[in-house]
Amino acid sequence: MTFWMIAGALALGTGMLMALALLRGHAGGEPPAAYDLRVYRDQLGEIERDLKRGVIAEDEAERLRAEISRRILAADAQVQEGGQTGGQPRIMGLGMAAVSVIMLAGGGVWLYGQVGAPGYPDLPMAQRIAASEAARAERLSQAEAEARFAPAFTPPDGVSEEHLALVERLREVVAARPEDEQGLQFLVRSEAALGNMVAARAAQEQLVALRGATATATDHATLAELMIEATGGYVSRDAEAALRATLERDPRAPTARFYLGLYFLQVDRPDRAFRLWRDLLEESTDEAPWVPVIRADIEEIAMRAGERYSLPPQGPGPSAADMQAAAGMDAQARSEMIRGMVTRLSERLATEGGPPEDWARLINAYGVLGDQDAARRTWDEAQGQFAQDAGALATVRAAAQSAGVAE
């Protein structure tokens, strides 16, 4: 009730001020026509002075005197007719004043009813966190999320019957030899290349379970990404567990941090999402596929989190149009954008080089996209690049093994 009283008083006061201005009809202590009279008389004096200095001829001066005298007569008639209001219609002024008050008061109430939350109580941070925890407890499992969100699989246009037959044969081989790691790796890539994300997720899940304690951060990150792709962007309980398993093995894993930030947005924790995405953005190169998505949304997330934040300068890489488009693009369009960014990352590494994490990310990206030849070429180049750095070579080798191009 206090809010409505204060808001109503402010709207009414503003409306009254506007109404007063309309009713008075002028801002000073005299009607507008009286001011015009003074100006015209001053102009007559200027004509006489210009004539004495020889600036204008007598006939020109006479013509100007006649024109200004005509204006003086018109202004004087307006003063005599309109009095102190300067001739402004009083009924129209009253009508406009009433409309102003109604528009400010009634329009303000209507607008708040449309975009505000009338009657909504204050929501302290403790209650928001409790609500978020409740949402996390009720999060769907991966199987439930796929049943609800995953579309029915249909092979994409242009895929030959021979290719589909080979993939089907691979499925049969893996089913007969469930402990064949290399076969599972090929199956994951084949299913993902076809867009059959549910099957790719199932194969990767089987591979991670088979490797057990030896499964790498990349293995878990790939599993989490396939889980999220299979549900159209929904981060299930199982996907969250895979993301956390990734970060336990590699706390700086970029894709896991990106998707965990997405998870926190989905459970209404913009504060935690903001911190994850801010740090990831500041550490990433502009070619990273998650950068346009973060840049498109992070300022709004910061506002929701109660943080003051401005985007850092952007170097060569995704354009402003890329960032704007990334916020609402569908899965196919996003995939095309990511392919373009992978190409740019490849070109940068070929010309300028880069840290082992970038080489590993490129190999893993080629593996997920099903481009084995490119993944193998990148692995070969990386071996020459980091031949004298055992630690860097181990980082790249883990990605190459996950992509199936290294023993």
**Same structural domain, 51 and 109:** yes
Whether 101 and 12 have beta carbons less than 8 Å apart is answered as yes
Answer yes or no: is 300 within a domain: no
pLDDT at 196: 93
**Same structural domain, 126 and 229:** yes
Answer yes or no: is 338 within a domain: no
**Same structural domain, 171 and 134:** yes
**Same structural domain, 87 and 139:** no
Identify the H or E element spanning 198: helix 197-211
> Left if phi > 0, otherwise alpha if psi is -120 to 50, otherwise beta: which for 306?
left
pLDDT at 285: 77
- Cα angle at 118 between 115 and 121, to 5 degrees? 120
**End-of-domain residue from the set 228, 253, 268:** 268
**End-of-domain residue from the set 115, 150, 185:** 115
Answer yes or no: is 329 within a domain: no
**Same structural domain, 129 and 217:** yes
Burial class of 247 by CB neighbour count within 10 A (0 to 12, 13 to 18, 19+): middle
pLDDT at 316: 43
Residues 6+ apart with CB under 8 A from 112: 7, 118
Q: Report the alpha-carbon distance of residue 215 to residue 401 in Å, rounded.
A: 11
Answer yes or no: is 277 within a domain: no
Whether 392 and 173 have beta carbons less than 8 Å apart is answered as no
Answer yes or no: is 71 within a domain: yes
Residues 6+ apart with CB under 8 A from 381: 349, 350, 359
Answer yes or no: is 344 within a domain: no
> Left if phi > 0, otherwise alpha if psi is -120 to 50, otherwise beta: which for 253?
beta
Q: Report the alpha-carbon distance of residue 252 to residue 39 in Å, rounded.
A: 75
Answer yes or no: is 388 within a domain: no
Of residues 303, 245, 403, the one with CA closest to residue 259: 245
- Concatenated DSSP letters for 23-55? HH--SSSS-HHHHHHHHHHHHHHHHHHHHHHTS
**Same structural domain, 45 and 158:** no
Answer yes or no: is 252 within a domain: yes
For residue 185 the two structure tokens come to 């790796």
pLDDT at 347: 78
- Supply the pTM of this predicted model: 0.56
Check which CATH number belongs to the domain holding 219 and give it. 1.25.40.10
Burial class of 99 by CB neighbour count within 10 A (0 to 12, 13 to 18, 19+): middle
For residue 147 the two structure tokens come to 């049943």
pLDDT at 27: 47
For residue 327 the two structure tokens come to 């916020």
**Same structural domain, 127 and 261:** yes
Residues 6+ apart with CB under 8 A from 357: 252, 254, 395
**End-of-domain residue from the set 72, 90, 115:** 115
The domain total for the chain is 2
Q: Report the alpha-carbon distance of residue 45 to residue 33 in Å, rounded.
A: 19
pLDDT at 6: 74
**Same structural domain, 106 and 131:** no
> Left if phi > 0, otherwise alpha if psi is -120 to 50, otherwise beta: which for 371?
beta
**Same structural domain, 172 and 216:** yes
pLDDT at 91: 66
List phi, psi (to 5°) of 212: 60, -125
DSSP 231: T
**Same structural domain, 135 and 212:** yes
Range of the domain at 45: 2-115
- Concatenated DSSP letters for 235-295? --HHHHHHHHHHHHH-TT-HHHHHHHHHHHHHTT-HHHHHHHHHHHHHHS-TTSTTHHHHH
**Same structural domain, 151 and 180:** yes
**Same structural domain, 89 and 53:** yes
Whether 372 and 404 have beta carbons less than 8 Å apart is answered as yes
Instruction: Going residue by residue through the chain, which has 407 residues, state the pLDDT in tens, using 9 for 90 and above.
Output: 566 677 667 777 777 777 676 666 544 556 666 777 788 888 888 888 888 888 888 888 888 888 888 888 887 777 676 555 545 555 666 676 677 767 776 777 677 766 666 665 665 667 777 888 888 889 999 999 999 999 888 888 888 999 999 999 999 999 999 999 999 999 999 999 898 999 999 999 999 999 999 999 999 999 999 999 999 999 999 999 999 999 999 998 999 999 999 999 999 999 999 999 999 998 887 777 888 889 989 999 999 888 988 888 765 444 445 545 555 555 555 556 666 667 777 877 877 778 887 888 788 777 766 777 888 888 888 888 888 888 788 888 877 877 778 76
